[in-house]
Amino acid sequence: MHRLIIDTDPGEDDILAMMMAYQHPNVQIEAITVTAGNVGLVNTTNNVGVMLDILQDDQIKVYAGCAGPFVHKPRDASNAHGKDGLGNTGYRSSRPIESTHAAMEMINRFTNEPDALTLVMLGPMTNLATALKLDPELPHKIKRVVVMGGAVTGHGNINRCSEFNIYADPEAAHVVFDAWGKAGKLIKVSDWELTSRNGFTKEVRAEWDALNTEKSRFYTAISAHSNRFIEEVRKRTVQFFADPVAMAVAIEPDIVLKSEQHHLAIEMQGEWTRGQTTVDWLDLYSDTKNADIVLEIDNGRLHELVFAALR
Ligand code: BDR
Ligand code: CA
């Protein structure tokens, strides 16, 4: 059984990822911590509640965390995900949010049950970086960390070489990757380039719509804006859903067909390169490795996991 803490900034692709985890027979979602990212914290927190309402779950607790990045001004992705993060559908939830800060709750849970829980990071890494500043031992307490983040050969989605989650808070990402390297631990990295090698065609998405379940109707509604953005602004019909790919790696580790372990460092300066995930591919320039970079997955299994989530 994979027991997950999910840190997230929904975003309809975060929602799809969490629905994949929720329906999986070998997965238990222990808690959801929320960060600002795709949109502001009020909306991202609401959106987790909306999803849990649709799933009719009354067990999973939700913890709100950081409302913005460490150093620089927030940069959201509402152009792709809508002002509310759910494609401007306006879904609201009245679900109560826990009073403990997300970073504190991470520390509590990972300390109470060392080496038992997997952390899945689907948004900017501000909450985890904050928790690390309070508890530097965290890398030794978390069983596995799977991150949706980065563009490991510089094919970005927010500037020419950076991926949104890292770009949104590079200082936080630096704190996290640096700490894991110093602890001699690896972070599993599911990056944007892996995402773009595992896109979902219009035809596949039409099959999801055709399921016509409550879950699929919800997903069709909240993803319509993002699908339009992809077609009209990005001029392509294949949709790249980053968080579901990362979640597949987290909940079925055997889905990974090829990965490489190297040192990954975050560019925090750079006129053109801020937020870039630079990788020491030849292992020449660093003494440690901190990243297990996923390069290939079983694409058929990914499709099955998404389908099962919406059925
Ligand atoms: C990541 O950025 C967000 O817009 C998505 O939710 C995903 O986590 C992809 O770069
Ligand atoms: Ca996300």
Q: Which atom of ligand 1 is nearest to the CA of 12?
A: 6
pLDDT (0 to 100) of residue 280:
98
Q: Which atom of ligand 1 is nearest to the CA of 38?
A: 4
Strands 277-279 and 264-266: antiparallel
Helix H or strand E segment including 148: strand 144-148
Candidate of 6, 8, 9 to mutate for ligand 1, largest count of ligand atoms within 8 Å of Cβ: 9
Q: Which of 124, 127, 121 is nearest to 102 (CA)?
A: 127
Contact criterion met (CB below 8 Å) for 126 and 166: no
Between the CA of 272 and the centroid of ligand 1 the distance, in Å, is: 20
What's the average pLDDT block by block, 10 residues per block, for the chain (311 residues)?
98 97 98 98 98 97 97 90 95 96 98 98 98 98 98 96 98 98 98 98 95 97 94 91 98 98 96 96 97 98 98 95
pLDDT (0 to 100) of residue 293:
98
- pLDDT tens for 175-225 read 999 999 999 999 999 999 999 999 999 999 999 999 999 999 999 999 999
Contact criterion met (CB below 8 Å) for 192 and 275: no
For the chain, domains (ranges, CATH) are: 2-310 (3.90.245.10)
Q: What is the C-alpha R_g of the chain?
A: 18
* Residues within a 6 A CB radius of ligand 1: 11, 13-14, 38, 77, 122-123, 148, 157, 163-165, 192, 242-243
pLDDT (0 to 100) of residue 80:
87
pLDDT (0 to 100) of residue 132:
98
DSSP 297: E
Between the CA of 75 and the centroid of ligand 2 the distance, in Å, is: 13
Between the CA of 3 and the centroid of ligand 2 the distance, in Å, is: 20
Q: Which atom of ligand 1 is nearest to the CA of 195?
A: 9
Between the CA of 281 and the centroid of ligand 1 the distance, in Å, is: 24
Between the CA of 111 and the centroid of ligand 1 the distance, in Å, is: 28
Bridge partners of 294, per DSSP, are 259
Q: Which atom of ligand 1 is nearest to the CA of 9?
A: 6
Contact criterion met (CB below 8 Å) for 163 and 192: yes
Q: Which ligand is nearest to the CA of 164?
A: 1
